Structure 1
Amino acid sequence: MKYEVVIIGGSYAGLSAALPLARARRQILIVDAGQRRNRFAEHSHNFLTQDGRSPSSIAEEARAQVEKYSTVSWLFETVTDVKALDDQYLVIAGEQHIQAEKIIIATGVKDELPPVEGLAERWGKSIYHCPYCDGYELNLGEIGVLASGMHSLHQALMLPDWGNTTLFLNDKINTNELDDEILAKLSKRQVLIETRKISRIEGHCDVVFTDGERMTVNGLFVATVTRLQANWIRDLGLEIDSNEYGEAIKTSPTKETNVKGVYACGDVTRSGGSVALSVGDGAMTGIVAHKSLIF
């Protein structure tokens, strides 16, 4: 099979990239493994016209709209390899070997959570990563920040706009690392600092310490470490940014990678996560990829 563009990842960024290409009547294939990053979340917020809807309903409606275009094909499969083939690419997904002139990577990322018992089960329900997405619904209640590194201080300083904030150091930040300047900032924002080690999370969001005591919060925020989902991304020779927040494919402002004919968009290209930003990313990528087929 041969396509002009193969889009790897059929969530918000990938579907958004598909739309301008479909409207230009280009032959495109979307390969999707069905693992949206926000599949654990009950509601999506901070996306104009879609605020409060379930993430799955947004994705399903987007797919239905894209699939109305006759030049769009869909393959529900996991990509296991992508190889350069002269001036094109060979995409291997299951038993399928697919040839493409251009590749758009919109695979998203996987989140690594701190190894705290009860955390993963509540991810997207009472454990969050984005205050813009989930902070408002906590109604200015009690909010916790679970430290996963020094970058969690940034999160702790933001969150008082959404409620009374406690920073749980949990042995991830040493009190000696908190200099007078950062302590003054935390104090100004009325952030409480809890140094006790956490044993587990119970109930809706009860923080249980190793000494047996517990503290109830309405929601707990944690900055995950994001990881690329597939080794073939590295094998392509793409430049990867790596820091304390995780990994991301490096792109130009127009979503081009360092490998000719390969583009990337959405969460796989940045830290954090946002449906709205992923949609915008995808729209730009689709347009740039289309123009590259002409010029």
Structure 2
Amino acid sequence: MTISSPLSFDVVIIGGGAAGLSAAVALGRARRSVVVLDGGEPRNAPASGVHNYLSQDGIRPSEMLRLGRAEAERYGARLRDSAAVSASKVKDGFTVTTAAGDTFTGRRLLIATGLVDELPDVPGVRERWGKSVLHCPYCHGWEVRDRAIGVLATSPKSVHQALMFRQWSENITLFLHGAPRPSDEETEQLLARGITLVEGRVESLEGPGDQLTSVRLEDGSTHQVDALVVAPVFTARIDLPAQLGVRLAPHPMGMGMQIETDAMGATSVPGVWAAGNVADLAGQVVTSADEGLRAVVSLNVDLVAEDTRDAVLAYRAAQAAAPVK
């Protein structure tokens, strides 16, 4: 397709994390013009490393983004470090305006805005998030194996979290933090696995820097732990897709609301796809990258069909206008 303006593209990607950059690389390799708009607030920025990503295990999130951006640019993708603040449907696609005041148009739109972790309001949690305050055993369990691990009961998933992390350590403490006691069946499971239950609300976390050495309760007692597991509220960044009328759906595990898509990432709005955590709250980095690729395979097929329809119409018009010999 011939681009009529430097700010017009085949595809505008909103969000420059694993899903968005994976999509940009694939689209660039497919010889599509693409721009990635990113506000620079990656969810996994506090983490020391990305895990469960074959051949990239332990890589720093910032380094993975640097490499991903370089790959996307190598195939012609344009990158703009400014968050998208508005989007609307127009005759030939979509317009997206950034916080910097630039407006981009795209024949198709891919939303990869991710999510925000809403953390428990306990002093010391946010400062240690991604270091010694964790939530995913597959992301961080190996790093805290055989250590003293606490679990803060902030959701119905807390018992499940305690039982999960027991696979990585025999020293697990479930801090009830004012939550109702687990059911008799759950209590039996916890005790059978050697998990300690502690009553009382947690007042603060203690330790130097981002390290954790103990949990202090409101009654003044302290409990030695090396890591604390919490269950954040996953809040998908859906304000912008909501402007387009994209349909939302609850996550099947009750984690919150996410963009509803089909198996290939297409949303309820024609021409709009979604990938990554905004469409899968439980997705990890590797699965988000896969979803970005899968979405643009479907998206590009849609563009090919449109290109073909336009070519056929032009061909017919040329044939009709040709002089009869």
Tell which has more relative contact order, 1 or 2 (C-alpha 8 A, sep 6+): 1
CA distance in 2 between partners of 1:221 and 1:91 (Å) = 38
How far the C-alpha of 1:275 sits from its partner, in A, is 1.1
Aligned AA for 2:118? E
Q: Is 1:98–2:104 an aligned residue pair?
A: yes
Is 1:202 equivalent to 2:206 in the alignment?
Answer: yes
Match of 1:25 in 2: 31
Match of 2:237 in 1: 229
2:236 touches 2:277 (CA, 8 Å); kept in 1?
no
Q: Aligned pair 1:82/2:90, yes or no?
A: no
Q: 1:187 aligns with which of 169, 185, 191?
A: 191
User: Does the CA-based 8 Å contact 1:241-1:250 persist in structure 2?
Assistant: yes
How many residue pairs get aligned? The number is 291
SS at match of 2:304: coil
Q: Distance in 2 between matches of 1:224 and 1:246?
A: 11
Measure how far apart 1:20 and its partner are. 1.4
Report the CA distance between 1:87 and its aligned residue: 4.7
TM-score (norm 1): 0.94
Matches within 5 A, 1:1-295: 1-70=7-76, 72-93=77-98, 94-163=100-169, 164-171=171-178, 173-175=179-181, 178-203=182-207, 204-205=211-212, 206-242=214-250, 244-295=254-305
Instruction: Name the amino acid aligned to 2:20.
Output: G
Write the distance in 1 (CA, Å) between the matches of 2:260 and 2:224: 40
How many percent of aligned residue pairs carry the same amino acid? 37
Q: CA RMSD in A?
A: 1.5
User: Aligned equivalents of 2:25 and 2:243: distance in 1?
Assistant: 28
How far has the Cα of 1:271 moved from its partner? 2.4
C-alpha distance after superposition, 1:173-228 (max 9, x if no partner): 311xx222222222333222212110011102221111111112121111111113
**Structure 1 letter corresponding to 2:12:** V
Q: Which of 1 and 2 has greater Rg?
A: 2
Cα 1:5/1:237, change in 2 over 3 Å: same
- Large movers: runs of 4+ above 6 Å: none
What letter is aligned with 2:225?
Answer: V
Alignment-mate amino acid for residue 196 of structure 1: G
TM-score (norm 2): 0.86
